[in-house]
């Protein structure tokens, strides 16, 4: 009972922070990812966009996500202006964009089956475009062998490495989309899982953030 009461108070507070446009306060580069994380809190407690005390607020957040999708399918308010030289602001945009995309795509997948019928077509089209973007962004045969099948920041080559954090979010998005009835290529999932396995460090029994391209230092002491 204490846990339930705490969750209820937390969600009431969270709802009170939502802006008129459906967003939750953060820096511009964090949209719509931060808003999506807030929506996940409501969804995790069983709330849906059709009814209940938070239904309207969830719908507002969904509209913000949909409005944030770019023509190429990327769900983010910003993308790197100069992807071949990701420095300064472009570098920050590159880091934020892929998280915004995967987390927001996950939310769309989770609400797809419970959203009002008039939203179904818009959600379907947005998810199709978002899935296509994620599939295109997966590291392919032209990447380093140790990074193939995974994802990282929104860079172009030679920034072709991958990491477990971005890959994990992309996999959760794809699984949610698959659960919602969208077709995800089996080869895409298999390659991503193999990347996850390659990140397992058997000496420490942990998963590492990424496979370091640097050679280990030699102790000459």
**What's residue 160's pLDDT?**
65
CA distance 199 to 205: 11
Residue pair 96/29 in contact by the 8 Å Cβ criterion: yes
**What's residue 59's pLDDT?**
97
Region class of 6: left (phi > 0), else alpha (psi between -120 and 50), else beta: alpha
Phi, psi for 47 (deg, rounded to 5): -80, 150
**What's residue 216's pLDDT?**
46
What does the DSSP assignment read for 127-145? Answer: HHHHHHHHHHHS--TTS-G
Specify the DSSP element, H or E, that contains 34: helix 33-44
pLDDT in tens, 2-21: 999 999 999 999 999 999 99
User: From residue 141, how far is each of 40, 57, 138, 162, 200 by CA, in Å?
Assistant: 34, 43, 10, 13, 21
Report helix, strand or coil for 151.
coil
| Residue 134, token pair as written in the block | 């994620």
User: From residue 212, how far is each of 73, 208, 209 by CA, in Å?
Assistant: 30, 9, 9
Residue pair 169/99 in contact by the 8 Å Cβ criterion: yes
pLDDT in tens, 76-93: 998 765 545 445 666 777
Torsion of CA 63, 22, 76, 35, to 10 degrees: -120
Residue pair 78/48 in contact by the 8 Å Cβ criterion: no
| pTM (two decimals) | 0.90
Does pLDDT of 218 surpass 50? no
Half-sphere exposure for 82 (CA within 13 Å, toward CB): 6
pLDDT in tens, 29-69: 999 999 999 999 999 999 999 989 999 999 999 999 999 99
Does pLDDT of 219 surpass 50? no
pLDDT in tens, 169-211: 999 999 999 999 999 999 999 999 999 999 999 999 999 999 8
Higher pLDDT among residues 72 and 87, named by residue: 72
**What's residue 114's pLDDT?**
95
């Amino acid at each position: 009972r204490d846990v339930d009461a705490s969750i209820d108070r937390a969600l009431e507070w969270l709802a009170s922070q939502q802006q008129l446009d459906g967003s939750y306060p953060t820096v511009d580069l964090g949209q719509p990812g931060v808003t999506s994380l807030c929506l996940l809190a409501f969804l995790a407690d069983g709330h849906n966009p059709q009814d209940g005390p938070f239904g309207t607020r969830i719908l507002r957040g969904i509209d913000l996500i949909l409005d944030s999708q770019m023509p190429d399918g990327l769900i983010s308010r910003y993308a790197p202006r100069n992807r071949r030289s990701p420095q300064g602001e472009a570098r920050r945009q590159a880091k934020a964009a892929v998280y915004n995309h995967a987390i927001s795509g996950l939310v769309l997948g989770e609400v797809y089956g419970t959203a009002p019928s008039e939203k179904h077509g818009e959600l379907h089209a947005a998810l199709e475009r978002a899935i296509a973007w994620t599939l295109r962004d997966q590291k392919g045969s032209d990447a380093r062998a140790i990074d193939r099948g995974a994802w990282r920041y929104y860079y172009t080559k030679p920034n072709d490495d991958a990491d477990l954090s971005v890959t994990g979010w992309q996999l959760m998005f794809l699984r949610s989309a698959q659960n919602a009835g969208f077709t995800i290529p089996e080869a895409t999932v298999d390659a991503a899982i193999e990347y996850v396995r390659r990140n397992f460090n058997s000496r420490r029994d942990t998963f590492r953030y990424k496979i370091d391209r640097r050679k280990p230092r030699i102790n000459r002491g």
